[in-house]
Amino acid sequence: MILTLKKTINKYQTFILWGTLALFAFLAPFAVVSAYQNAFPLATSVLISSLTVVLLGLVFWGSEHRHSLRHVLKNPSSWVVLALLIPAVLAVMAATYNLTVMHSAEFIQYYQSSMIRRILNGTLYMCIILIFLMLIQQMNTRELQVLGKSYTAGIYILIVYGVWQFLHFLIGYPAPDFETRSAVHSVSSDVLINFRLTSLTEEPSFLVPFLIDGLIIGFMIFESKTKYVWQLFLPAVFVLFFSFSVSGYANIVIVGLFVLWLFISLKMIPIKKLLITMGALTVPLIASIVWKWSLFVGLLMPIIGRFDVLFDVTRHSRLYMLVYPFVWLTDFSWVNTLFGFGPGSYDFLAKTKFLSYGSRLSSTSNNVFVDLLFEHGLIGGTIFLIVFILFFFYLYRRRKLSSYYVYGVILWFHLGVTSLYRSDFVSPRFWLIVMVTILCAELGRRATLQPQWTNETNKLQVRKVGDSS
C-alpha cells in the first residue's frame, strides 16, 4: 500500500508541487490582513504553512530527484537558514538559563507562551525552506513562474482594493469596512488629503513591501512589458503614492537607485541616454513643483509634516524601539548580551518596557536585524547580518553571468531594505522572497553551466523570464 501511494505521488508530484507553491505564494500577502488571520482559532497563515510542509514533504518522499540534507547545508543558499537556526538554539538555551537568574513573572509568561509560538512558527518555515532546497534539483522556470504569478495575483488583490479604498475615501464609493490605520497622524498642518491607503492591511507600512515585491517580480514574469506597465506598474505605484508611507517612499527610491546602478554597471543603459532621459523628466517635474508649490506641499503634507518627529527618539515610537534594545540587551547578565533573551523575546520587552511618553512597546521593533539582535544576542544578531550581506555579495558578483542573478540580487537587496522597517522574518512573505531568490540563483547557476538548455527537453529556456516583448 505504501509503495502504491509513493508511486501515485511520484506520478502527480509535479501538480502537487505546483499547487502547493501556488497556494503558499497566493495567500502570502494576506498574512498581514486581520480578517484572514483570525478566520480560524489558529492563525490562518500557520495552517497554510503547516499544509505546505505536509504537501512538500509528500512530494519529497515520492521524488526520485532530490538533494540530501547534507548536500543542501553545503550550498550557499542555506546560509540564511543556518544563521537563524543555530543562534535560535543557543538563544533558547540562554532563555532557559535566564529563568534561574531573572525571577521575572513577565519573563516566565513569555517563556511559556510567546517563545513556544515563535519556535513552532520558525520550525514551520525552516521545514518549508529546507524541503524546498532539497527539491530544487527538479525545479526550473515553470516553478519560478508558478511562484511569481501566484504571488503577484495575491498582491493584485491588495492593489485593486487599494484603488477601491481611494474611491471610497474620495467620493464615498461603497466599500467593505475594515478597521485600518488609514487616518493621517503626527501632522499639525493642514493636509490636502486626510487619508492613507492601507488596502486590506492594517497600516501602510504593512502594505508597501508587497507592492514593491509585485513591481520587481512582475517585471520578471511579464513577457509583455507594455502589459506590465498598464496592468501592474501604474496601479501599484498609484496605491504606493497615496499610502503616504515614509518607509515605502524610501524603499522604492533606494531599490530604484540600486537597480539603476545595476543597469549602468551591466552597460544595459548608455550613460548619455540616461542623462538625457533624466533631464527630460526632471526639468518639467521641478518646473511643475515650483509652479504649484502650495499644491505640492499640501499633497505631500502627510509625509512632510512628520519630518519634525521622524528623527526624535523621544517622540517617534518606532525610532525609540529601534534604539533602546541596544541598551536593554545588557540587562541582567552577559549571557543575555551574547546569546539574547530567546526567540520572540521582544514580546517580553512589550510587557516590561515603556515608550518615552508612557505607552507600552509593541511586540516588535519593526526591524528584522534589531529584533534578532535582542532575541539572539550580539553573536546571533551579528552572524545573521554578516550572512545576509555575504549572500548579497555572492549574488552581486555573479550578476554578469545570467539575468537570473540580476533578479536574485535585486530581490535580496529589496528584502534587506524592507527588513529595516518590517520585522517579518517569521512570515510567509519573507520566506517566499527567500525561495524566489534562491531559485533564481539556482537557475542562474545552471544557465552559466549549460546555457543551451531548452524547454523542449523539459529543461531551461534562459531568456524566457524577463525578456522584453
Question: Residue 161 CB: number of other CB atoms within 10 A?
Answer: 21
Give the SS3 label for residue 101. Answer: helix
How many C-beta atoms lie closer than 10 Å to residue 76's C-beta?
Answer: 13
Spatial distance between the Cα atoms of 120 and 123, rounded to a whole number of angstroms: 5
Going residue by residue through the chain, which has 469 residues, state the pLDDT in tens, using 9 for 90 and above.
667 767 777 677 888 899 999 999 999 999 999 889 998 988 999 999 999 999 999 888 877 767 777 777 778 888 888 999 999 999 999 999 988 888 888 889 999 988 999 999 999 999 999 999 999 888 888 999 999 999 999 999 999 999 998 888 888 777 777 677 665 555 545 555 677 888 899 888 899 999 999 999 999 998 888 999 999 999 999 999 988 888 899 999 999 999 988 988 887 777 777 777 777 777 777 887 777 666 666 666 666 656 565 565 666 677 777 777 888 888 888 888 999 999 998 888 888 887 766 677 777 888 999 999 999 999 999 999 999 999 999 999 999 999 999 999 999 999 999 999 988 888 999 999 999 999 999 999 888 886 544 443 333 333 344 444 3
Question: What per-residue confidence (pLDDT) applies to 207?
Answer: 93
Q: What is the distance between the alpha carbons of residues 133 and 85, in angstroms, rounded to a whole number?
A: 15
The DSSP symbol for 195 reads B
Contact 270, 231 (CB under 8 A): no
Phi, psi of 114 (to 5 degrees): -60, -40
| Tally of CA atoms within 13 A in the half-sphere of 80 that contains its CB | 27
Candidates 298, 294, 257; CA nearest to 278 is 257
How far is the C-alpha of 362 from the C-alpha of 349, rounded, in Å? 8
Quote the pLDDT of residue 464: 40
Asked whether the beta carbons of 430 and 24 are under 8 A apart, the reply is: no
Task: Supply 313's cell numbers.
Answer: 527618539
What pLDDT, on a 0 to 100 scale, did the predictor assign at position 326?
83
| CA 361/CA 356 separation, integer angstroms | 10
Q: How far is CA 124 from CA 46, 127, 177, in A?
A: 8, 5, 33
Reference 414, options 259, 185, 197; nearest CA is 259
Residue for grid cell 469596512: 177
Q: At what angle do helices 368-396 and 403-418 cross, to 10 degrees?
A: 160
Closest by CA to 465, choosing from 255, 292, 259, 221, is 221
What is the signed CA dihedral for 291, 297, 298, 303, rounded to 10 degrees? 150
Instruction: Report domain extents, the chain.
Output: 2-457
Q: What is the dihedral of CA 153, 159, 165, 167, to 10 degrees?
A: -110
